[in-house]
Amino acid sequence: MKADKYAFVFDNYNSFLADDLVSKELFLEILKEEVLPWWENDAKKYVVVGVLKSFQVYIIKND
């Protein structure tokens, strides 16, 4: 079965890198500033024999 889309799920996000908040902020910055814009605008330039697929990111905070 081939994927129609990709989903990146962060469950219990509050615990993700909880001991390293600098890295956590850096991760989010890279995701927002580099990864998502690349996927939306440039990924189609690099798809070989395929179709560009949806890429969703879900951040679930468990307070």
Quote the DSSP letter at residue 11: T
Let me know if residue 6 belongs to a domain. no
Query: Domain containing 53: what range?
Result: 17-59
Let me know if residue 3 belongs to a domain. no
Let me know if residue 36 belongs to a domain. yes
| C-alpha to C-alpha distance for 48 and 25, rounded to whole angstroms | 33
Query: What is the pLDDT averaged over residues 40-58?
Result: 79
Q: What is the pLDDT of residues 6-35, one digit of tens each?
A: 898 989 889 999 999 999 999 999 999 999
Query: What is the pLDDT averaged over residues 33-54?
Result: 81
Mean pLDDT of the chain: 86
Residue 62 vs residue 13, higher pLDDT? 13
Let me know if residue 4 belongs to a domain. no
Let me know if residue 2 belongs to a domain. no
Let me know if residue 45 belongs to a domain. yes
Q: What is the pLDDT of residue 19?
A: 96
Let me know if residue 5 belongs to a domain. no
pLDDT at 3 over 80: no
3-state secondary structure of 59: strand
- Count of domains forming the chain: 1
Let me know if residue 35 belongs to a domain. yes
